[in-house]
């Protein structure tokens, strides 16, 4: 009897530690809403019971535009861009690295707005780009079926993407020995793994 009483607190402690470890392994998620443009977000705030304000929309949209300027995929040719994002879904921009010429970027076709549920709240957003064959993706590679609606997404969806502003543009041709251009990956220039999410 004495022995089992001595073991009891340790057993309870181990069960509690196991439950805590399992909870820690559960991926964090956020509620997110996708909008094709600022106007559609603002229209949502006028509906009865809306949880977003006009300020939420304008702030999130401004963040998405800034992220787009810093982290949008950049290509050396219109054909390379359209291979990944579809015909008519790309535009020419002045090369920010100088030297003349243009770079080609996918059109900003929406933004994802999230409200941080933990850590005191706060707004998060990401730009959305069209994908060849359908769907929309963030710069970090989260893919959605459309650019309108709500979904529960991994919290990592709102991680700050790597900057592309000062990087060599992607090319659909293999990089040659004299070129420092990156080659477009089969993932569409959004990183090494694409994760799908309902939207």
Q: What is the pLDDT along the chain (199 residues), one digit of tens a residue?
A: 555 444 444 333 434 444 444 445 567 888 899 999 999 999 999 999 998 899 999 999 999 999 999 999 999 999 999 999 999 999 998 877 666 678 999 999 999 999 765 555 688 999 999 999 999 999 988 899 999 999 888 989 999 999 998 888 888 764 433 233 333 333 333 333 333 334 3
Angle at 198 (CA atoms; ends 37, 144), nearest 5 degrees: 45
Report the candidate in 80, 66, 64, 78 with the shortest Cα–Cα distance to residue 136: 64
Give buried/exposed letters for 122-155 (b at 16+ CB in 10 A, else e). ebbbbbbbbbeeebbbbbbbbbbeebbeebebbb
Using CA atoms, how far residue 112 sits from 21, 23, 83, 136, 147, in Å, is: 31, 27, 24, 10, 8
* Overall pTM surpassing 0.75 (yes/no): no
| Domains of the chain, residue spans | 26-197
Report the candidate in 58, 59, 20, 26 with the shortest Cα–Cα distance to residue 39: 58
């Amino acid at each position: 009897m004495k022995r089992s009483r001595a073991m009891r607190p340790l057993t309870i402690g181990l069960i509690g530690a196991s439950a805590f470890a399992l909870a820690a392994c559960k991926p964090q998620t956020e509620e997110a809403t996708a909008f094709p443009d600022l106007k559609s977000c603002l229209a949502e705030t006028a509906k009865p019971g809306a949880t977003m304000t006009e300020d939420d929309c304008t702030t999130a949209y401004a963040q998405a535009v800034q992220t787009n300027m810093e982290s949008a995929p950049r290509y050396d040719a219109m054909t390379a861009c359209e291979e990944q994002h579809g015909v008519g879904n790309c535009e020419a921009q002045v090369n920010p690295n100088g030297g003349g010429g243009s770079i080609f970027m996918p059109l900003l076709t929406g933004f994802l707005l999230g409200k941080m549920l933990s850590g005191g709240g706060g707004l998060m957003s990401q730009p959305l780009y069209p994908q060849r064959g359908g769907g929309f993706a963030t710069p970090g590679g989260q893919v959605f079926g459309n650019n309108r609606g709500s979904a529960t997404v991994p919290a990592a969806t709102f991680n700050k993407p790597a900057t592309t502003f000062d990087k060599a543009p992607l090319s659909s041709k293999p990089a040659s020995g004299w070129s420092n251009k990156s080659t477009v990956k089969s993932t569409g220039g959004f990183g090494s793994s694409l994760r799908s999410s309902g939207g």
